[in-house]
Amino acid sequence: MKTHIRRDGAAVIVSLEGKLDYETTDLLKDNLQKLHDEATIGQVIFDLGELQFVGSSGISAFVQTLRDFNTRAVSRPRYTNVKSEFRRIMSAFDETGSFDFWDASNRALKSVDN
């Protein structure tokens, strides 16, 4: 899994691509910690459109990493282009309703600007 981080106006977009497995979750955790440590971070949008589901290995660690980021974020992160299998699994692990799903990154970005 690769993590791409870019700024778009007041938002930071984190795009994830490739296969999700247990080993790649640690790299994601490190990248998100660096992102969280930046003082100028505003709205964060996760684009999961290019992420491939490859089974249960690492999914709980992946979801926990995102949940941990959600609790530390200044504003509630938005998750876009989330495939149905990821949405079901993320929702199953989400007792607190911390995942805010959007159908497309551009719609999530427009809502940040308004």
pLDDT tens-place string over residues 64-99: 888 888 888 888 899 999 988 888 888 888 888 888
Q: Which amino acid is at 60?
A: S
Q: Which amino acid is at 63?
A: V
Q: Has residue 18 got a pLDDT over 60?
A: yes
Its CATH architecture, for the domain 2-113, is 2-Layer Sandwich (3.30)
Domain ranges, ordered by start, for the chain: 2-113
For residue 28, what pLDDT band results from cuts at 50, 70 and 90? confident
